[in-house]
């Protein structure tokens, strides 16, 4: 990937301020772009934008292609005439500092369906033409997703493997009957996706027009309960009853003594190879319309993946199995050209992973919080970097820098002091300065570190199935003072 020296901020859309319980693609998204511009930043990194399912994690979505309806801005729908202003949820005391996902979903879904129904019956002219074009352009995933969600709703939101057998197994006559019975509910889901894509593209254009690139995140695996798994069982390791043979995870590591058991279905790489990796090519192509740069989460799984027998309580009893990542990346490049990809190469990294990353000229990731482990030498210290990498003070999976500092052992803190003698009264700015001063082409700080926030504001704790992803910026919390201070560092270090 060829990108000029730059820097930016990691902040997911849900974490933006907003009056209806969660960040959206409305005014606050544009306001954040303005703040980035004032701060002289040229990167905005976000988490996956998918339609979240179990645990509200953006890494467990109902589709690898569909956007999250909860990110749709209701005020914009009112301004377009698709939702009456009196329907806006004005009297609900949503918290400002975290997301109550259950309440947001409960309040927002009926309003989105109401707006979609109004669109279905009344939209005409250019907007109707745009919608029809959207359905044509996204047909390879949109219709499968819309039927999946309509059938899921009919089955009281149960996962697809608990549906009646003829629906679970997608019997031909049953699918035809479902299309007949659920035509209108399925179309409402397609309209809601049109709302999402239209709003997101407006935000992305606003950012791009200000020389800000969007880094998006593509999870390596898809959720078991997803349109992808239900509609494309042949590309996953399922038995004859559509049960997983093995599931994804990682072995014991820095984050967990028993590993992480994610439970996602594993790919049937032989079948994918026979199709020329078509599903993956379509997926990357779709994501490159959403983002400027793609970070492949758990990149090491393209070299070899940790396969855990289905039903195991932890990830300990897994095994490494080789994956044809080089073949797949070659196939994607042959069709789509050179790609702006980032390899999330954290965890157990072996020579085959390094070869796959380096032979494709993909930047890897460096995490400053990992640099000061006093127990061993490591390649997270800035003097070991090459320019073709991305340095982070921390990621969405780490504690905040202030939280890390408060919980670090004395030996690790001494290792940090020996390395760069930071101003410990502002440890977050010391880490940002160290990242910005490095030779890495890109430097990123989570918004929590720009603000100097503590552990209670961390985005995620790996291995915990629920209770995270909830943090939000308070209205006005990211100030001009923060922007100017970040801008000064960015100028000093030529980003």
Rounded to whole angstroms, the Cα distance separating 356 from 343 reads 10
| DSSP structure string for 106-175 | HHHHHHHHHHHHHHHHH--HHHHHHHHHHHHHTHHHHHHHHHHHHHHHHTTT--GGGS-HHHHTT-HHHH
DSSP state of 226: S
Round to whole Å and give the CA distance between 37 and 210: 7
The set of catalytic residues is 297, 344, 397
Phi-psi region of 259 (alpha: psi -120 to 50; beta: other; left: phi over 0): left
Q: For tokens 């960040």, what's the residue? A: 23
CA distance 124 to 130: 10
Contact 108, 90 (CB under 8 A): no
Q: Distance (Å, rounded) from C-alpha 495 to C-alpha 490?
A: 5
Q: What is the DSSP string of 452-490?
A: T--GGG-S--TT--SS-S-B-PPTT-S-HHHHHHHHHHH
Residue 337 and residue 1: Cα distance in Å, rounded?
A: 12
Q: Is the dihedral of CA 185, 191, 228, 315 positive or negative?
A: negative
Residue 443 phi, psi (nearest 5): -125, 135
């Amino acid at each position: 990937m060829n990108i000029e020296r730059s820097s930016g901020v990691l902040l997911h859309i849900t974490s933006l301020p907003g009056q209806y319980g969660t960040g959206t693609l409305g005014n606050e998204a544009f306001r954040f772009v303005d703040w980035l511009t004032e701060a002289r930043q040229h990167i905005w990194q976000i988490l996956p934008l998918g339609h979240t399912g179990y645990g509200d994690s953006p890494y467990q979505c109902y589709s690898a292609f569909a956007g999250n309806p909860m990110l749709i801005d209701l005020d914009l729908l009112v301004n377009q005439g698709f939702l009456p202003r009196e329907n806006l949820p004005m009297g609900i005391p949503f918290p400002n500092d975290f997301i109550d996902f259950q309440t947001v979903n409960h309040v927002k879904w009926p309003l989105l369906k109401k707006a979609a129904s109004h669109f279905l019956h009344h939209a005409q002219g250019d907007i109707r033409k745009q919608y029809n074009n959207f359905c044509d352009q996204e047909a390879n995933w949109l219709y499968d997703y819309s039927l999946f969600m309509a059938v899921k709703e009919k089955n009281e939101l149960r996962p697809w493997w608990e549906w009646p057998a003829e629906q679970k197994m997608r019997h031909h006559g049953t699918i035809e009957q479902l299309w007949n019975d659920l035509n209108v509910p399925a179309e409402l889901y397609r309209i809601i996706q049109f709302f999402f894509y239209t709003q997101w593209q407006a935000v992305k254009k606003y950012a791009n027009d200000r020389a800000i690139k969007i880094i998006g995140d593509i999870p390596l695996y898809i959720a078991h309960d997803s349109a992808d798994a239900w509609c494309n069982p042949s590309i996953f390791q399922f038995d004859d009853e559509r049960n997983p043979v093995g599931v994804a995870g990682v072995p014991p590591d820095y984050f967990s003594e028993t590993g992480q058991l994610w439970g996602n279905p594993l790919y049937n790489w032989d079948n994918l190879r026979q199709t020329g990796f078509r599903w993956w090519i379509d997926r990357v192509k779709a994501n490159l319309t959403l983002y400027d740069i793609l970070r492949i989460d758990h990149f090491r799984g393209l070299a070899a993946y940790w396969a855990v027998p289905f039903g195991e309580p932890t990830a300990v009893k897994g095994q490494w199995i080789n994956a044809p990542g080089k073949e797949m990346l070659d196939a994607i490049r042959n069709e789509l050209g050179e790609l702006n990809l980032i390899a999330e190469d954290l965890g157990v990294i072996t020579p085959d992973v390094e070869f796959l990353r380096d032979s494709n000229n993909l930047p890897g990731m460096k995490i400053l919080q990992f640099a000061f482990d006093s127990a061993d030498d490591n390649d997270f210290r800035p003097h070991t970097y090459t320019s073709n990498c991305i340095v982070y003070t921390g990621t969405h999976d780490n504690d905040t820098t202030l939280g890390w500092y408060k919980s670090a052992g004395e030996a690790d803190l001494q290792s940090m002091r020996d390395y760069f003698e930071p101003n410990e009264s502002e440890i977050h700015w010391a880490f940002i300065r160290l990242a910005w001063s490095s030779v890495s082409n890109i430097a990123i700080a989570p918004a929590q570190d720009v603000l100097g926030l503590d552990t209670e504001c961390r985005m995620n704790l790996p291995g915990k199935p629920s209770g995270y992803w909830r943090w939000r910026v308070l209205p006005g919390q990211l100030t001009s003072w923060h922007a100017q201070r970040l801008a000064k560092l960015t100028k000093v270090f030529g980003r």
